[in-house]
Structure 1
């Protein structure tokens, strides 16, 4: 699937994203997250790994849309100090 992240075009395939993230330990999940192989990753962490870009170069929304289009479940993890359910985008 072709998408644009931080004004750069990328072609992503779900299996390639899964392979790239397979050896990566998830950071603390707060805010927008993606569930990849039963592990919850912050979308900014996923974006940095799969694009090689600095996290400041793209928005969480750009990655959430791209990962959702690839078929990954995107959720919002609770931010420390806030209580509430995890909801789907």
Structure 2
């Protein structure tokens, strides 16, 4: 699926995003997050990995919109189960 993040077009595929994030350890959750596989990642971390751009170059909303369109479950705040 073609997505625009930080004014750059990316062709993203759900299975490729899952494969890229499989070996990445989730950072502590503090804001918008996404469920990939059995893990919960901050969307900024995922955006940095899949676009290879600095986190300051894009917004969490841009990545959340792209990941939602790919079929991932996104949250504005971390779910309660992950915080406990």
Measure the CA separation in 2 of the matches of 1:34 and 1:19. Answer: 15
Query: How far 1:29 moved relative to its partner?
Result: 1.0
Gaps of 5+ in 2: none
Structure 1 segments of 4 or more deviating over 6 A?
Answer: none
The two structures have a TM-score, normalised by structure 1, of: 0.86
Map 1:11-26; keep pairs closer than 5 Å: 11-26=11-26
Paired residues in the alignment total 81
- Which residue number in structure 2 is paired with residue 32 of structure 1? 32
Contact 1:30/1:76 (<8 A) preserved: no
CA-atom RMSD in angstroms: 1.6
Other-structure match for 1:55: 55
CA distance in 2, matches of 1:77, 1:39: 15
Greater RCO between the two (CA within 8 Å, min separation 6)? 2
TM-score, normalised to structure 2's length? 0.91
How far the C-alpha of 1:30 sits from its partner, in A, is: 1.3
Which has more radius of gyration?
1
**In structure 2, distance between residues paired with 1:22 and 1:6:** 24
The answer to which structure has the higher helix fraction is: 2
Structure 1, unaligned runs of 5 or more: 79-83
